[in-house]
Amino acid sequence: MQRTVYHRKYFRTPFSADYWRQAFSELKNTRALVFAALILALRIAMKPLKIPIAADVNITFGFVVNALGAAVYGPVVALLSGALSDTLGYLVAPSGVYYFPFIILEMAGSLVFALFLYSTDITPVRLILSKFCVNMFVNILLNEPIMVRYYQLFLTSAYQPFVMVRIVKNIMMLPIESVILMVVFRSVIPALSRVGYTLPGKMVLDYTRKHIILLVVLFLAGSAAVAGYVINDYNTKSFSASYTAAERLQKNTEMNAWVTETRPELKAEETVTVIESARSKVGAKEMTYELAIYRIDTEKYRAKHDEAEAAIAAGNKDVKPYTADTLNGYSKSKAAKDDTLVRIGTATAVTDKHTMDGGRIGDRISMDITMAWGEEGNP
């Protein structure tokens, strides 16, 4: 029986209409889809195989089969395979809470490998660059905001302490993972080429001195870029954005106690202080907080409190309690939207960030309060 060979064109880059027409045509290629199913099964089977090195940071090996599959069936099928890999992988081996945006990471990694390796010469340079881009742009830059949001929604601790561990792991593993890719591709690609899964031709997959130099240069460039990004991010971001609900309540309450202690005319039970931003610099000893000071409108508070209590007593599970903790646990945006709170002033507080303990605010340094008196002459 004559074997049908699916012919592919050669492309130097993915920046052409013909490249993408061929990539979409893989959806009609039965052999490519069968191979994608095999790769998908292998990726799912390998998900539980990991070496833990920190919380939510592991050394895994699924990238090998991911890269191999992407080289065969291209970017379009790779995107679909990545989406299925994330969803089915969680169903087979659940870990933590299912969070849909993680699917973006799986799809992005598959896409990057396909753009570098599909329907073109597979060389050490392409393997190195593909893994570099996956580690830098997917595992670090794209992963960070997704993980931060995941921790905010489902966990009680902030994600920041683990970011550096993940960054170091991706930079340090780049040379090792690149060598692993080269060894696997050198063993497998010739066989796949003979049966028509990849382009025929001579594949030179031996490392030379220039490839070692490239790895070193990318390693140093990646380290420098990440260091610059981390320093800039640390110096410009507001740490309050990553507070959990429990941390926000605790810190706002501590700040409110400090504010009312500084201004005795304010009563703690009638005042809410909300941290709007918390900033510091790399190497600095202080943390600077920008605060909004609110007066509680007693009548509105009682009305909303009683309404919530009545709804809860009636069995309405969608209604949450409306208490003093509700107000003290507000973020900047929530406090501004609740008409129970009347903004009466602002403050800048400076603390020692090195004496923070268990999420608590560090030792006090200074508090500068500016009051915006109302028409009646009192806050």
Confidence bin at 1 (pLDDT 50/70/90): very low
CA gap 73, 62 in Å, rounded: 17
* Residue carrying the six token digits 């500016």: 370
Residue 358: φ, ψ to 5°: 60, 35
Smallest CA-to-CA distance from 278 within 269, 268, 288, 270 is with 288
Is residue 379 over pLDDT 50? no
* Confidence band, pLDDT 50/70/90 cuts, at residue 156: low
pLDDT of residue 91: 83
pLDDT of residue 203: 58
Burial (CB count within 10 angstroms: exposed 0-12, middle 13-18, buried 19+), residue 305:
middle
pLDDT tens string 101-122: 889 999 999 999 999 999 988 8
The answer to whether 237 touches 279, Cβ cutoff 8 Å, is yes
**How many helices, marked H, and strands, marked E, lie in the chain?**
12, 6
Per cent of the chain over pLDDT 90 is 47
User: In the prediction, which pLDDT does 2 show?
Assistant: 41
pLDDT tens per residue, range 249-276: 999 999 999 999 999 999 999 999 999 9
Which domains does the chain show, CATH number per domain?
17-236 (1.10.1760.20), 241-371 (no CATH)
- Residues forming a β-bridge with 347: 291, 369
pLDDT for residue 221? 86
Strand partners, 51: 59
3-state secondary structure of 6: coil
Q: How many Cα atoms sit within 13 Å of 227 on the Cβ side?
A: 6
Locate 49 and state its tokens: 């195989």
* Per-residue pLDDT reduced to its tens digit, 276-335: 999 999 889 999 999 999 999 999 999 999 999 999 998 888 889 999 999 999 999 999
pTM summary value: 0.65
Tokens matching residue 110: 């598959």
